[in-house]
Structure 1
Amino acid sequence: MISKKRQIKIWALAAVLLSLIYLLTHRVCPAVKYHTYPRPHPVLLGNTTHSSPAQTNLTTNLVVASTAKDDISWTDNLYNDIPNLTILRYVSDSRTSRFHPPVAKGREALMYFTYLHDFYDSLPDVSVFIHAEETPWHLEGTLLQNISFALAQLDLTRVVEERGYFNLRVTWRAACPAWIDTRKTFENWEKQEEPYMPEAWEANFDDPVPDILAGPCCSQFAVSRAAIQRRPREQYKRSIKWLVETSWSDHIVGRVWEHMWPWLFKEEAKDCAPEKESLCQMYGICFENARQMEAYKELWEERERLKEDMSFLRASWAPGRAAEARKKMNKVGDEIERQLSEAWKRGRASKAKAVVER
């Protein structure tokens, strides 16, 4: 006969097991299921690349700023989308890498400048500078927050013939017409890098410090050979020396250089081209008007909110809500794809018309 004490243990164990089974079947499994969501828009990612005859003769270097642990295998697909492409991976923390900065500091800035200095006399038509992540947070929803998609659409001819320097991010919102006030001090700054800007500017340029700097973030851009060579090679050596010798944190160094690239390549303190026009001209994503573009952005923001409802912790706590979020996600995704496909087709039609009219 089982003792009363042993019976209590058995019932306690059974209660624990039943609780675990309940949590597994009603919380964990649904959370795993609803936490996952489809990578947006395989149709767009697979079928909106270009093959522009006007760009087949252009040569392009893709300069990737990375660390040794980064996986940049996704860049292999770009060979199918960009004619005459060469990929140069710079690794900040590996002295054995073929391409690396002189020291492991300065974030992407030192890697970029190392390339600009070393390749100065053998530059391609276009150099594109990016980070190692394919889906960086700072790339817009109008570009699917996907650098592969953005680069497949980018009009390299316009980079060479019109822009010279082009920030891959075109959304500036509050960053224009005034973002950084270089007159701010350590006593009254609003953005963390503001009080550092005058010293950084004077260390890298002989030009007077502008009062205001403005433009999109985040140190990913395309530059023509001519724009790079407007500056003497010594300019890039000077910036390398400063980046190597500065005692500032990598964070601050990266932030100050985000605001100085437009001046380096085109001597403009403000890089505030209208977003809608830049999307259409440079990426062939042509919304009919600003209202339509903003409506698309609202859809993308709704998608991001739904992703939060589908996080593992929230899905574990409220699987029903996560299931509903997933249903809405699918509908929102379909509408995003429809609207962006229309904008992309409008851009292709506009480009084809312009070619005929020439």
Structure 2
Amino acid sequence: MLRRSRKSLLQLAFFCVVIYIIVSLLRPPAPKLYLWNTIRYQTTAASLPEARGTCPGLDDSSKPALVVSYVAADGDTVWLERLSSKYNLCIYNVDAPADSSARNLRVPANRGHESITYLTFLIDNYDSIPQAGAVFVHGNRFQWHNDDTLYDNAASLAALNVASALEPTGYHNLRCDWSAGTCPKDSGPAQGSLETYINSILQPWSARSASDAAMPQAFAVLFGGDDYLKNRKSKGLKLSRSDPVRAQCCAQFVVSREAMHRHTREEYLAIRQWLLDSYGTSRNSNAAPRDDRIAGRILSYLWHVLFIPQEDGPVDLAKLNEQACPSAADCYCRLYGKCDLKCNVRGCYGQYRIPPYMRLPDDWAELHGNDIYEPAGVKALHGRLYPKAFEP
């Protein structure tokens, strides 16, 4: 009798384990929630930079602001000036010589690539952001990541329907194609994974590996502030090893005024000081990495976290990832009016393809810089760069 009872108990226990495993596999996973609602980083600097980043003309403008992070190497700004009928131009001269007499469109330091410009605009123009919102871009007209058949940001900005782009969430990346960034699930390991950490050691020259490995700590410091630094085990601040942040590259986007005002001016100041505190006498070990490639790339994956609205409470990372990666077909239709394309979720036929080695030929601007709205000879020149037709 005792043997039969033991056997029955073992069978029952085995049956219960099997049922538990089946239920666990069928049950939807619990949402991954993060406390990424408010920037809480606290600077150690004795003083903050003076306000020299005002963009003239915003108070009375009915046009969206076009915020441009420009350096001398980007060339002339004629292509931007030709967009002035559509946008209120805010062209920040990032590497201009220090000049105490310049009170407008200056940044405190050439730091974090385009991030220093974007943050300075948000800080110094916080109360003057146009009702129509703002578009944030780089100063170079032709770049490998511009989502245009000729990589021409002039054509993209001329075609951009700002109001339509802002309808779903108040934020939208200017890229539609998924072939760069981290939108596809197979685009790489989670930023906090062991694989990412090992890659950063084996490939110290790779800005992507280094910035991905540094991002979980950076986000935890930015959103956790002193609370995280005093208690490194604070839940909901640091990315787990299995949770990726999915987003489009490459830090060019459109944002509504409401979305920008979801965070206070002081929060944008804190992010900028996180960048600046890496240098000078007040250097803070918890501030941004000193390597600009790494610091700038970390912030390129912060913008959508700041601007895409979430329900009250912690951020649902899975939902945020989905919102940050709309289908290419929907994106091209809403942003650029291209609504009858042959597409899959990642890309659309004939619209974009990564150039070899993520680099445009040195003479690309010379060959394609004559026309701003409808570049001539697209089909003829398309084959020069692409020996094969793109199939989505």
Give the aligned partner of residue 333 of structure 1. Answer: 380
User: Any stretches of 5+ residues in structure 2 without a counterpart?
Assistant: 1-60, 201-207, 225-235, 279-288, 311-319, 365-375, 384-392
Give 1:289's match in structure 2, choosing from 322, 325, 342: 342
- 1:187–1:102 Cα change, 3 Å: same
* Comparing 167-176 and 127-136, the one that deviates more: 167-176
Q: Deviations over 1:176-211 (max 9, x none)?
A: 244562323533458331110012112322362442
Q: Deviations over 1:103-142 (max 9, x none)?
A: 2212111111011111111101211111111111101244
1:63 is the counterpart of 2:63: no
Q: Deviations over 1:301-333 (max 9, x none)?
A: 7999xx97x99xxxxxxxxxxxxxxxxx96943
User: 2:64 is matched by which residue type in structure 1?
Assistant: T
User: Any stretches of 5+ residues in structure 1 without a counterpart?
Assistant: 1-56, 312-328, 337-358
Overall identity of the aligned pairs, in %? 29
Give 2:134's match in structure 1, choosing from 124, 127, 130: 127
The number of residues matched between the two structures is: 255
CA distance in 2, matches of 1:105, 1:262: 20
CA distance in 1, matches of 2:173, 2:109: 26
Give the aligned partner of residue 72 of structure 1. Answer: 77
Give the TM-score normalised by the residue count of structure 1.
0.63
- 1:130–1:335 Cα change, 3 Å: closer
Structure showing greater radius of gyration is 1
Give 2:331's match in structure 1, choosing from 250, 265, 278: 278
Give the aligned partner of residue 298 of structure 2. Answer: 256
Give the aligned partner of residue 218 of structure 1. Answer: 250
Give the aligned partner of residue 196 of structure 1. Answer: 214
Give SS of 1:216's match. coil
Q: Give runs of aligned pairs for residues 1-358 of structure 1, distance below 5 A.
A: 58-70=62-74, 71-80=76-85, 82=86, 85-94=87-96, 95-96=98-99, 98-124=104-130, 125-142=132-149, 144-173=150-179, 175-178=182-185, 179=188, 181-185=190-194, 186-189=197-200, 191-206=209-224, 208-210=237-239, 211-246=243-278, 247-266=289-308, 268-269=320-321, 271-290=324-343, 294-297=348-351, 332-333=379-380
Give SS of 2:176's match. coil
Answer 1 or 2: higher relative contact order, Cα 8 Å, separation at least 6. Answer: 2
Give the TM-score normalised by the residue count of structure 2.
0.58
- 1:90–1:273 Cα change, 3 Å: same
User: 1:151 is matched by which residue type in structure 2?
Assistant: L
Residues 279, 286 of structure 1: 8 Å contact kept: yes
Root mean square deviation of aligned Cα: 3.2
- 1:191–1:134 Cα change, 3 Å: same
CA distance in 2, matches of 1:109, 1:182: 20
User: 2:350 is matched by which residue type in structure 1?
Assistant: Y
User: 2:211 is matched by which residue type in structure 1?
Assistant: E
